[in-house]
Homo-oligomer: A and B are copies of this chain.
């Protein structure tokens, strides 16, 4: 197991990197060449020390009094996140949310492309949304194999999510981006990322109600 110089990055850091990245790209287009941790921290009302720790994990080194080379940071973060790789995904379930994702233009920035969409509803087959044709879900496995697809986006109702996940695994897909509230049972080698509206809403509402006292 050759993990000589393999650095395990904390997940909190990992979650902050894409946020920094967006900001760095913005200031870069405005012509800046260098930026300090203080400047980044100010933008996000966070702590310069934390930003420095986060940036350190990208491997980029800064210069005292000058800061970090913005371009170098952008490159390092994108490479680290895997956004310089070709990330091709299939999307399953062309409801409102599926449609929204199919038409989401910013995915290009993340090296991310939805190359095909699938649905079980015959009425939707053949339609074209955001430049992507909708195919029958039965064809998912074979096409995923042929095209070496790595990522499956699940935007079907919870009741059919498990079946779709199994199709993805059968098709050789190794990463699942699950927008349904279903708990998926797949082999441990498969990476799953859940996007749970209920969780996000719970954080918001509990802060608004129960914990509001804290703001006093």
Quick one: CB contact mask for A74-102 with B, threshold 8 Å, 1 for yes?
A: 00000011110101000000011101100
Q: Given A199-B18, A203-B11, A205-B82, decide whether A213 and B6 contact each other with a Cβ distance below 8 A.
A: yes
B-chain residues with CB within 8 Å of residue A110 when the two chains form the complex: 198, 201-202, 205
Q: Given A83-B205, A183-B44, A208-B174, decide whether A200 and B189 contact each other with a Cβ distance below 8 A.
A: no
Q: Of residues 177 to 191 in A, which have CB atoms within 8 Å of B's CB atoms? A: 177, 181, 183, 188-189, 191
**Complex Cα–Cα for A205 and B81 (A):** 6
- On whether the beta carbons of A204 and B177 are closer than 8 Å, the reply is yes
B-chain residues with CB within 8 Å of residue A97 when the two chains form the complex: 97, 100
- On whether the beta carbons of B103 and A96 are closer than 8 Å, the reply is yes
A154 to chain B, nearest CB (A): 12
**Complex Cα–Cα for A11 and B112 (A):** 30
A209 to chain B, nearest CB (A): 3
Is A195 an interface residue when CB atoms closer than 8 A count as contact? Answer: yes
Q: How many copies does the complex hold?
A: 2
**Complex Cα–Cα for A11 and B189 (A):** 27
**Complex Cα–Cα for A19 and B195 (A):** 12
Is A146 an interface residue when CB atoms closer than 8 A count as contact? Answer: no
Is A193 an interface residue when CB atoms closer than 8 A count as contact? Answer: yes
Q: Given A18-B198, A198-B22, A210-B82, decide whether A204 and B181 contact each other with a Cβ distance below 8 A.
A: no
**Complex Cα–Cα for A195 and B195 (A):** 9
Q: Which of A1, A17, A204, A208 has the most CB of B within 10 A?
A: A204
Is A142 an interface residue when CB atoms closer than 8 A count as contact? Answer: no
B-chain residues with CB within 8 Å of residue A183 when the two chains form the complex: 19, 23, 43-44
What are 25 of the A-B contact pairs (CB < 8 Å)?
A2-B213, A9-B206, A14-B202, A15-B203, A18-B196, A18-B199, A19-B199, A21-B198, A44-B183, A80-B206, A81-B202, A81-B206, A82-B206, A82-B208, A82-B209, A96-B99, A96-B100, A97-B97, A106-B198, A150-B208, A175-B208, A188-B215, A191-B204, A193-B201, A193-B204
